[in-house]
Amino acid sequence: MTMVTDTGVSAEEREAILGAVREFADTELAPYAIERDEKHVFPRESLHRAGELGLGGIYVREESGGTGLSRTDTVAIFEELAKGDPAVAAYISIHNMVAWMIDTYGDDAQRGQWLPKLTSMAEFGGYCLTEPGAGSDAANIATSAVRDGDDFVLTGVKQFISGGGEAGVYVVMARTGGPGSGARGISSFLVPGDAAGLSFGALEKKMGWHAQPTRQVILDGVRVPASAMLGDEGRGFAIAMSALNGGRLNIAACSLGGAAWALDAAVKYVHERVAFGEALAEMQSVLFTIADMRTELQAARLMVRDGAQAVDEKDPDATMRCAMAKRFATDAGFDIANKALQLHGGYGYLQDYGVEKVVRDLRVHQILEGTNEIMRLIVGREMLRPSGSATQQRGGAS
């Protein structure tokens, strides 16, 4: 009898999917990760091949051309991808978030126009929320969208946009309401990458994530038809926030993958390295460190799975559980990678070993998709609501 998971995919199918992803990571990502990092190479061809595997629309519905997998299966996929290269895996995560938004909130025409290109990764997606003056305070974005007949005219600057200058479509959050309208005055638009008036800043010089481009996206009177609005007017902020539950899980899973790779590298190294006439693997301090790294990794993995399950089940605590998972897993992932570097000693600081790259790549996961301070704010506010005791009970029983 074939066992079927609670997400509708049989255990055999799930293992086959993860096996294919693992092979892709081993052949298309891992062998080139250090070179792409050093030379700042955006791996377009490898991403096209990822699309051929169905990795461009992992949780886009099958009827829309996606793979239609659950969030529980999705986080397992991103963990495997990040073992090959966390920077590339993280970009695939952002691309998937864009495709999911169009599938979930778009109309038939929008889905028909963009999803075939995105799910195949023939074209890439960009998510444009953050601005130079509105990072964590996203409800106060200043980019405007002014109605002009049958069109909207968009003006403003978006900051820290992954895939900037490479994407075929950008989901842009812009203010359609007047001053002081806050979150309720924000709408979402689909802006083609070749739109007149759209330009891009210089490549940002970053600590990590060198294999994906990050630029400002500059909208100077970009005109789009009213039909390019994604969802209803004034719902853009809610749409952006709904996408972040999945985005936070994905980036947490990327931290798991990078940390798992670093832990494996550390285990291999301490077996090979001898100091003071003794293998590092035989030293109690090293043994304890490895044990703590493995324990933290497993705890983080379970929290990410819990958040994914909450999204799959549409649990009322899903946002809080995703925030907890994102905060815990990205903190743990960076800590594990940093400990792996320390166990390598001076060699960990050298680029040839790849550990310092993973440390640099994972550091930004504590910042993007909502900083970990914002994750604490989400959890704390939820717990201290008047109904907090009921929330606690639901969270404890999950």
Three-state SS across 314-366? Answer: CCCCHHHHHHHHHHHHHHHHHHHHHHHHHHCHHHHHCHHHCHHHHHHHHHHHH
Q: Please say whether the dihedral angle defined by the alpha carbons of residues 377, 164, 230 and 252, taken in this order, is positive or negative.
A: negative
What are the φ/ψ torsions at residue 123 (nearest 5 degrees)?
-130, 160
pLDDT, tens only, 208-251: 999 999 999 999 999 999 999 999 999 999 999 999 999 999 99
Residue 389 has pLDDT above 70, yes or no: no
172-181 average pLDDT score: 90
pLDDT computed for residue 390 by the predictor: 40
Q: What percent of the chain has pLDDT over 90?
A: 86
pLDDT computed for residue 392 by the predictor: 40
What rounded mean pLDDT belongs to the chain? 93
Which region holds residue 60: left if phi is over 0, alpha if psi is between -120 and 50, else beta? beta
153-182 average pLDDT score: 94
Residue 394 has pLDDT above 60, yes or no: no
Q: Report the DSSP pairing between strands 198-200 and 144-148.
A: unpaired
**Cβ atoms of 383 and 306 closer than 8 Å:** no
Count Cβ atoms within 10 A of the Cβ of residue 282 and give its class: 0-12 exposed, 13-18 middle, 19 or more buried.
Answer: exposed
Residue 379 has pLDDT above 90, yes or no: yes
Q: What percent of the chain has pLDDT over 70?
A: 95
pLDDT, tens only, 29-47: 999 999 999 999 999 999 9
**Cβ atoms of 50 and 121 closer than 8 Å:** yes
| Alpha carbon distance 375, 249 (integer Å) | 12
The residue with greater pLDDT, 119 or 390, is 119
Count Cβ atoms within 10 A of the Cβ of residue 389 and give its class: 0-12 exposed, 13-18 middle, 19 or more buried.
Answer: exposed
Confidence at 8, pLDDT banded by 50, 70, 90: low
Residue 137 has pLDDT above 90, yes or no: no
201-205 average pLDDT score: 97
Instruction: State the residue for tokens 């255990």.
Output: 11
pLDDT computed for residue 348 by the predictor: 97
pLDDT, tens only, 333-378: 999 999 999 999 999 999 999 999 999 999 999 999 999 999 999 9
pLDDT, tens only, 285-304: 999 999 999 999 999 999 99
* CA–CA–CA angle 82, 84, 86 (5° rounding): 35
Q: Which two tokens stand for residue 272?
A: 């090979």
| Alpha carbon distance 327, 34 (integer Å) | 27
**Cβ atoms of 168 and 215 closer than 8 Å:** no
18-34 average pLDDT score: 97
pLDDT computed for residue 4 by the predictor: 35
pLDDT, tens only, 263-276: 999 999 999 888 77
Which residues participate in catalysis according to the annotation? 369
Instruction: State the residue for tokens 């359609």.
Output: 176
Helix runs in the chain, H state only: 11-24, 33-39, 44-52, 71-84, 86-105, 108-119, 236-272, 284-312, 318-343, 355-363, 372-383, 388-397
Q: Kindly report the pTM of this predicted structure.
A: 0.92
Please count the CA atoms within 13 angstroms of the CA of 246 that sit on its side-chain side: 27
